[in-house]
Structure 1
Amino acid sequence: MFLNLLFFIITISIVVVFHELGHYLAARYYNVRVERFSLGFGKVLFRKTDKHGTEWAVSALPLGGYVKPLAEPPAGATAREAAQAISQKTAWQRFVIFGAGPFFSFLLAIIIYSGMKISGTTEPMPSLAQPEPNTAAYVAGIQGGDSLLAVDGVKVQGWAEARLALLEPLASGATTTLELQTENGVTRNAAIQFPKVTGTLEGVDLMGQAGLALMAPKPRVANVLEGGAGKQAGLRDGDLVLRAGNHEEITIIGLIELIQNSPEETLPLLISRDNTELSLNITPRAEVNENNQTVGKIGVAFSGQYPTLTVRYGIFESVYLATVQTFDTAWFSLKMLGKMVTGQLSWKNISGPIAIADYAGQSAQVGLDKFIEFIALITVSIGVLNLLPIPGLDGGQMVFCLIEMVRKKALSEQVQEKSLMVGYSLLLFLMIFAFVNDIARVL
């Protein structure tokens, strides 16, 4: 719990500071005085005022942050001081100031994705397992051992790239063309029709439901215990199990289940040792487990490693691909929001700070690269959220500015105030709804 909170604070701090930095720099560019730059809300824990009169603060509630520009000229202000109020700026200048926050949110994602693509990532090779009957992949004629080369004409290298390219068609229930290469090196195309997605996506494996999964690696002997049935049969560390019993294709889980279900029964194994195939017979010994069940044991530990490759790009290609990935992610978020508005997806998909903290902790436990990638996902979400045309958000303020540019005059203060009341009420409702969803997930 503590680690989840810690990584949540790190995530929100990075994302919020970068977002608000966009507002701050745009305001400074147009000579708007920024009274406060705060990380967090509520009681100020730390503050420092710079030479421009901006108070840099850290506040007690780490759920966001804000930049507070000078709204109106103070009483008795000189012409120079009055010009530093945001209300004295043109509609276009205010539009840029409000839009700079979401722009910087997307910029942070582009920087993160670019860095990951330049440094390179090690990913499993996209070799597909035999699809389960009646899944979309099975109907499309995909065979075990097919390697995925491209999705709708977009080349993919590793499994992570393949999953990313398939995310939108999976969630949209679209028909997608996959370029595949068989184990014999023959290239072909397969059109796959993904099923429509409804309800909540929480805990749903869309890839698995469609029949798309990595081909599991063959079991390799990691350790042979002295005195066990495996040692007696002649197994050695490093042996690769090609076939067990009458199973032509065997996975680690499948092999372990076969051994456990075959106490005192002879199992023929075909193994590969030093590029030579050998046949062995092994008889699992009957033992009683903790559930008082008789199972087979051979005293061997197995391991399996997916074949991997390093996916790396040059600087310019990385920036281009990172930009495409950022805006594809943003567009996907908008489409999912649209599906929730139209009732195609459940509103239970909305997550709040509790869920974000949980995901932050989980991603950090997987590895630093996954945690950084999670930060990129959150900053894209923040950018999309703030661009929504809801009064009280950056997008709503930008709409006010656009209306003013078209009408050549601003909306009345009464209209703006009522719009803000509606906007803040909607945001409060969404915040409460997100908290309720989070609590329901925990329970």
Structure 2
Amino acid sequence: MLDIKAIRQDFPILTQTVNGKPLVYFDNAATAQKPRVVEEAIVKYYETINANIHRGVHTLSQLATDAYEEARKKVQTHMNAKHDYEVLFTAGTTFGINLVASGFGSLLKAGDEVLISAMEHHSNIVPWQFACERSGATLKVIPMNQNGELIMEEFDKLLTPNTKVVAVTHISNALGTINPIKEIIEKAHKVGAAVLIDGAQATPHIKPDVQDLDCDFYVFSGHKVCGPTGTGVLYGKEEWLNKLPPYQGGGEMIKTVTFEKTTYACLPHKFEAGTPNIAGGIVLGVALDYLNEVGFDNIAAYEHELLEYGTKRLSEIEGLKIIGTAKEKTSVISFNLEGIHPYDVGVIVDKLGVAVRTGHHCTQPIMDFFGIPGTIRASFSFYNTKEEIDVLVEAVKKAQMMLA
């Protein structure tokens, strides 16, 4: 059982008011709030060991390097990666997907196929479009049903020996659907395809075990797991990271440089050109420590309670339709009010202190599939409460009354 009152005290932002009302923050799928321990770790880094890493012999540089590499090992343990050098620090999920897709752009050829799903975030669509345009490969889409679930029978039909990459989201940011990624990975491997999993929305709720999943790549963003913005992780199997060309050139990623020829550094440095977000990487490790102390089993159980309660309460509102009703869901509820634009609802509930996301959530194909301009999205985290859901429900009712 979680002590929610004690947990909320770890998050200073939750005590403030917005528009004269206590803040109810239900935009966690966009970014998570930061516990005080994370904020303090950022200040501590810059006040005590700020220095560039890997290159200096002086004490501060060595301290910074040790802290940065210790954070990499924390991520390795968290994801159960086989080697610490299979963990690359990035600027976020988008950066990680672009790195992999850019590399495959030089490995794919005409006749090859890349499979993505109908519920992907734009960040897991556009980079693969780039790769296919560059290589002549074909992009294909796994369809979904009206519940917001992938149609696995169609996935089976799409898989062929020409399938070279399967890139799918673990959890849909717009619908909350938890996809059967282990089954997807196993089937994709049978035809020799590499698999990338977009874990941006999964990692706040689920602790990924990349060896158990057997995925070839797994990406996530630090700011979704209570860490700093501008941070992220790309896990890649050693064999694949060795096959892919570097994404950027510069310092740190080289072994030797002459005007005639450059050779590349070993993993992970081959993909970490330039001075990284040192503080961000270190503090991402602190954020993961915090979440692991709370416990991911505890987080999942409590957030499921919030999902069930929120679904029940919102469903009581006449004219409200939930978009995304998969059997396997995480704590995200997308909904619309009949005859009312989602943006208008978002503006009114904000005036009442409730932060929700409105729009297409960078998933325009999903909105096109359902024939809607967007949704109102309430996404819950382990520091939210059922009482806050009640506030949301009353705010939505007021918006409905004002806008009908």
TM-score bracket, shorter-length normalisation: under 0.3
TM-score (norm 2): 0.24
Look at both structures and tell me which one has the larger radius of gyration over its CA atoms.
1
Higher strand share: 1
